[in-house]
């Protein structure tokens, strides 16, 4: 993704502010202090190349902006999809799969048939496919499926507590985006050429002085995501729950969204997805364990008690279908 001339200017005040925020997100304990050569390399990489979303001027970037507007213009989405061969192929293929091959689709017909919710899922699929897609093997598909599962479940769960606008979906989709990036660009430091997502283990603190949650949050700052999304991603492995009394407005609330994101991670573990946690720390976790956890009790205190079992099974089924698109793309 090529930066625009303005975005490449390090003296631009907005870029200086963004750089400071990236540093703070990467190394919150030292408030942005970079102490080792490896930490400096990681910081330079994120500042220059650490995007988690496509370039704004690309067809995929334009489509994403349309899909997450308050008033989505499907006609404009159709025009954008028609300019990009990969998007056209993905949308037509998805429509054919959904219709069990029983219809012939044009782009407008496919877009109307799929609807906004499915188009947002396909946008996520294409973002994941293009993110390091030419460097990572097909064995990463379960990792991407987990990300899609988290995105769908987080958006659905958040809808019980406040109006949703698609940023919840992005938080779930991108919360572990740093894993493939770190593996791709820092293989030597991991002493192994990772080809499988399940070979990952949490060496990040030892190697980089920070966590993959902080790295993902910094990458989201680089891409200009909203503050509540960045905050939720940064907190998605926090052990301590926020004080409920401090959570007043639930919408656009990073700590609240972060707890919901933690819960989707717990459910993903219980559903058997590859985990980003230390080996053995969550072995044998079941949905019963999740439902009895302090995290669920904390969330239930806000007045809603969604059926997490049913939601998880519904989304698991849908994500397995979407996984077919990832494998075929």
pLDDT, position 15: 65
pLDDT, position 248: 86
Nearest to 26 by CA among 254, 173, 182, 155: 182
Cβ count near 254 (within 10 Å): 20
Q: State the Cα–Cα distance between residues 104 and 95, nearest whole angstrom.
A: 9
273 contacts 198 by C-beta, under 8 angstroms: no
Cβ count near 83 (within 10 Å): 12
Residue ranges for the chain with pLDDT beneath 70: 1-16, 30-34, 70, 131-139, 189-204, 275-284, 322-329
Helix 85-98 vs helix 308-328: angle between axes, to the nearest 10 degrees?
Answer: 130
**Mind listing the domains of the chain with CATH numbers?**
53-130 (no CATH), 135-329 (1.10.3210.10)
What Å distances lie between residue 285 and 153, 219, 241, CA to CA? 18, 30, 20
Nearest to 233 by CA among 174, 150, 309, 151: 174
- What one-character DSSP code corresponds to residue 242? P
Q: State the Cα–Cα distance between residues 88 and 282, nearest whole angstrom.
A: 40
3-state secondary structure 102-168: CCCCCHHHHHHHHHHHHHHHHHHHHHHHHCCCCCCCHHHHHHHHHHHHHHHHHHHHHCCCCCCCCHH
pLDDT, position 143: 80
Nearest to 181 by CA among 49, 318, 4, 2: 49
Nearest to 221 by CA among 212, 208, 231, 211: 231
């Amino acid at each position: 993704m090529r930066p625009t001339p303005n975005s490449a200017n390090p003296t631009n005040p907005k870029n200086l502010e963004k750089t400071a925020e990236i540093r703070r997100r990467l190394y919150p304990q030292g408030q942005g202090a970079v102490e080792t050569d490896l930490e400096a390399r990681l910081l330079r990489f994120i500042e220059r190349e650490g995007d988690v979303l496509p370039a704004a001027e690309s067809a995929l970037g334009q489509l994403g902006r349309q899909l997450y507007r308050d008033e989505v213009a499907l006609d404009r989405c159709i025009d954008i999809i028609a300019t990009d061969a990969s998007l056209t192929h993905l949308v037509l293929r998805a429509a054919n799969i959904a219709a069990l091959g029983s219809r012939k689709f044009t782009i407008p017909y496919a877009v109307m048939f799929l609807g906004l919710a499915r188009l947002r899922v396909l946008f996520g699929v294409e973002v994941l496919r293009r993110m390091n897609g030419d460097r990572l093997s097909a064995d990463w598909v379960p990792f991407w499926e987990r990300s899609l599962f988290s995105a769908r479940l987080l958006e659905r769960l958040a809808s019980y507590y406040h109006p949703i606008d698609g940023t919840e979906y992005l938080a779930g989709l991108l919360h572990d985006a740093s894993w493939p990036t770190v593996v791709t660009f820092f293989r030597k430091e991991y002493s192994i050429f990772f080809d499988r997502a399940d070979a990952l283990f949490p060496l990040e603190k030892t190697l980089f002085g920070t966590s993959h949650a902080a790295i993902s949050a910094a990458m989201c700052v680089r891409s200009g995501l909203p503050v509540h999304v960045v905050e939720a991603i940064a907190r998605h492995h926090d052990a301590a729950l926020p004080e409920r009394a401090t959570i007043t407005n639930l919408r656009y609330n990073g700590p609240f969204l972060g707890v919901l994101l933690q819960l989707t991670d717990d459910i993903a573990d219980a559903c058997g997805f590859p985990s980003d946690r230390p080996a053995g720390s969550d072995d044998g976790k079941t949905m019963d364990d999740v439902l009895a956890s302090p995290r669920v009790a904390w969330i239930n205190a806000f007045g809603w008690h969604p059926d997490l079992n049913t939601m998880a099974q519904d989304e698991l089924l849908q994500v397995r279908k979407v996984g077919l698109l990832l494998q075929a793309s």
